[in-house]
Amino acid sequence: MPSSQPNADFTASLDDRPPAQSSDSLSDFSVAICTYNGAERIGKVIKCLSAQVGTENFNWEIIVVDNNSSDKTREIVEHYQPTGIGKVPLRYHFEPKQGLAFARQKAVEESHSELIGFLDDDNLPEPEWVANAFAFAQERPKAGAFGSRIFGEFETKPPENFDRIAAFLALTDRGNQPLFYYSSKKILPPGAGLVIRKQAWLENVPKSCFLQGRVAGYQLPGEDLEAVLHIQSAGWEIWYNPDMILWHCIPHWRLTPEYLLKLCQTIGLSRFYTRMLSVPKWLRPLAAIAYMVSDLVKIVTHLIKYNNRLGSDIIALCELRLYLNSLISPLYLLRKQLGL
């Protein structure tokens, strides 16, 4: 943690020529890069944004939200200001509250546009990502949020059968056609590469989500899922846009057994909360019982199927860890709320 915080947010153009719009004017689209200690990564994201094409007919901006970094993230952003990407403004904001949920909330509040596309500092968008995101929003005015087609760029080869848990690392490939996410399917896009409407977010997503992500002393991911569930529950459409392609850079340590097991454990522990968000309050006791029975069936079935391979199949072990922690999720969250 840094010993002091920046005195104020700063705004600057990526070009020393006059920008297409002032930093205080409205934009048609905002790209929000949320980062924590991303000094070694964020430059690649900005370079990918400098290669965007097809954006000549609308104004867009880039926002970097520094989520309490202790490295040289701010200096890296400053480095790109004088020689940036033409007339696209780049703005920097500091969010002292640790957690991706707080960083995204800051980005929404500071955005100058109605459409906001979230990128993490390890997401590399293809050259038409911004243009395709903007076009998709124009075609579907009832879409409150829509996700990208996300492929992995791996530092090392993933373990065998990794595709069974790839979605937990925000990898999403649902084909070449747009896909509508029905609430009954209980499947939603990840926060990485997600585009949202500012109105849908501000009117429905709490300023402080219950799930805050992986921060010190609090290891419950799912903050992006919680936000999208709130938007969907308010009646907004949620979509998958296959033309918004980006690459998620995954370092070797995020493919280790230790990391994958911990990831599945924490996702499981957060599941009861996200499951109940889309269930009417009067149905929640029955839904809780139904989910527990379902989790027990999954555990027993999984043990029967993989019992002899759990010692050597890390993916099967991850799935078991997910089911077990999903089962105890209600008790875990109750203890959290009671401060036990």
CATH of the domain at 137: 3.90.550.10
DSSP secondary structure, 147-212, as one string: EEEEEEEESSPPPTTGGGTGGGGT-B---SS-EE--GGGT----STT-EEEHHHHHHHS-SS-S--
304 and 199 inside one domain: no
Last residue of a domain, one of 255, 283, 316: 255
pLDDT in tens, 251-297: 999 999 999 999 999 999 999 999 999 899 999 999 999 999 999 99
Last residue of a domain, one of 255, 288, 310: 255
214 and 265 inside one domain: no
This prediction has a pTM of 0.89
pLDDT at 82: 65
Count structural domains, the chain.
Answer: 2
Contact 32, 117 (CB under 8 A): yes
Last residue of a domain, one of 214, 234, 255: 255
Q: Please name the amino acid found at residue 259.
A: Y
Largest CA distance in the chain: 66
pLDDT at 61: 95
pLDDT at 95: 95
Higher pLDDT pick, 147 / 8: 147
pLDDT at 323: 98
Rounded Cα distance between 168 and 61, Å, is 29
Using alpha carbons, select from 153, 152, 113, 151 the residue that is nearest to residue 133.
113
pLDDT in tens, 69-128: 999 999 999 888 765 577 898 999 999 998 899 999 999 999 999 999 999 999 999 999
Give the structural domain span for 307.
259-338
